[in-house]
Amino acid sequence: MAQKQDEGGVLETIKVIIQALAIALVIRTLLFQPFNIPSGSMIPTLLIGDYVFVSKYAYGYSNYSMPFGPNVFSGRVLASPPKRGDVVVFKLPRDNETDYIKRVIGLPGDRIQMIEGRLYINGVVVPREPIAKALTENRNGDEVPVATYKETLPGDDNHPGVEHTIIEIDGDHFIHDNTDLFVVPPDHYFMMGDNRDNSTDSRIAPDLGGVGYVPFVNLVGRAEIIFFSVKKDESALAFWRWPWSVRWDRLFKPAH
């Protein structure tokens, strides 16, 4: 009798584990997926060491938003286009494998250009105003105050323009502060990082190691909230260091 009870207990435990794994798989596949931030291209919005939840349902589903990218269907199902200003995780178009996170700046049909460090959308300069300087690392690894701005992207009748913070480590005269005119193709988006002088994004062509235009189908999801954050070069697994390594003030902040 005792042996049968033990066997029943083991089977029940296995059943519970399988159910928990199935629920976790459904949540990760259809609802929310965690991502960590490995680079500083979205500073000051997102920092190296931030962990964010990305809503998988925000733009519908494609092969690239599924785990392991199975070739299940073409295009997107339950599709809903992103809004200008959304912070988006997408598959890098030139390999369709690497996860990138940037802000949507240009929608299909938009004309995008950088002139003397200022962003122009459809021929109109995007308003920005200087705010208190942010502390971040320069190219030598030293923490220094850098030019910081509140930028307001254009909205429409249904959505107000998104306000967000950008930094200019090298001012308004760096390598990508003057560009050609970009015209965003249909079903594509133009992405930029908030760390304007340290972001590999749509301003750089894929054949030069950049992003280029991002197809709608490549979008994985929208960044929603920072659920965990550790300082640069700290391990999130080193729980014994959390009292000192965790950025407690960043937990549960919006990721956009």
Return the active site residues.
41, 102
CA–CA distance from 33 to each of 68, 131, 250 (Å)?
13, 33, 19
From the list 256, 192, 255, the residue with the least C-alpha distance to 52 is 255
Radius of gyration, CA atoms only, the chain:
21
State how beta strands 111-115 and 182-183 pair: antiparallel
Q: CB burial class (10 A; 0-12, 13-18, 19+) of residue 32?
A: middle
Say if residues 109 and 103 touch (Cβ distance below 8 Å): no
From the list 247, 180, 244, 48, the residue with the least C-alpha distance to 190 is 180
Tokens of 131: 């705010």
Number of H helices, E strands in the chain: 2, 15
- Buried/exposed 131-161: b ≥16 CB within 10 Å, e otherwise: eeebebbeeeeeeeebbbbebbbbeeeeeee
Rounded to whole angstroms, how far apart are CA atoms 75 and 63? 8
Rounded to whole angstroms, how far apart are CA atoms 13 and 173? 62
